[in-house]
Amino acid sequence: MKIRPSNTMKPILFNTEMVRATLDNRKTVTRRVVKPHNTRKAKRCEYLQGEGLWFDDEINEFDKDTHIKDYSISSCWIGTEIYIQKYASYRPGDILYVRETWQYAYDLDGNEQPIEETGRYFYAADYDSGPFGFWVNPDGTHRENMPWRPSIHMPREAARIFLRVTDVRVERLQDITDEQAEKEGCSDYTSTALGFFYVWDAAFKPKDRALYGWEANPWVWVIEFERISREEAEHEQNKN
């Protein structure tokens, strides 16, 4: 069964280090936690991350597919490709634009008024500190540095990184290999797979690590991608 891409360009959130690794062509895969799809049923079935999902890697002779059982959906086995098609946020062939920490700012004239034609987007990944020594708020008050806007609020028109999803699969977090860790942009440790522990846990608030941290070993979506240009992304979207 072939998984068809959607015809809508989708956003995906990357933190600053992920953006830098992608821009440096060091990151070509990302992992996202597989969370219960029906939280009410998951609670009723005492679904726990890492306990409520089962994977059968034997190929079924009938449908030539591996199978998954997700107790937040049903106690029945479902083909992996069908599971990805119905429940994964991203599927092979999808076109994504990366939302990153950003700001839109202007240069100021001698009277500290914005110069309209200088308005442009800035990205936190490009700077160790803000690009301006000081910032004038809309009410005229000053602050020392430019405030960054969170990635979740970045409009599509501000995107500079576009991706094509090439593969999606499901696995346990700790199944990551050194090769895969390097594709995640992690290359500063003797064993990159072990070093990925720090990269992964840093993305979660301390209160969430018991459920989604490295030690919890959650099931994750493994999303492989290739970087494409804005023109390619828009062409792919129009073609679909």
Q: How many Å apart are CA 48 and CA 44, to the nearest integer?
A: 11
How many angstroms separate the Cα of 205 from the Cα of each of 58, 211, 229? 36, 11, 33
Query: Where along the chain do its domains lie?
Result: 10-98+161-239, 102-149
pTM of the predicted protein model: 0.86
**Model confidence pLDDT, tens digit, residues 135-165:** 888 777 888 888 899 999 999 999 999 999 9
- The answer on pLDDT for 50 being more than 50 is no
Q: How many Å apart are CA 5 and CA 94, to the nearest integer?
A: 5
Helix, strand, coil share (%) of the chain residues, nearest 5? 30, 25, 45
Position 72 confidence tier, pLDDT thresholds 50, 70, 90? confident
Quote the mean pLDDT of the chain.
Answer: 85
**10-98+161-239 belongs to CATH 2.30.130.30:** yes
How many angstroms separate the Cα of 204 from the Cα of each of 79, 197, 198, 201, 221? 30, 12, 11, 6, 16
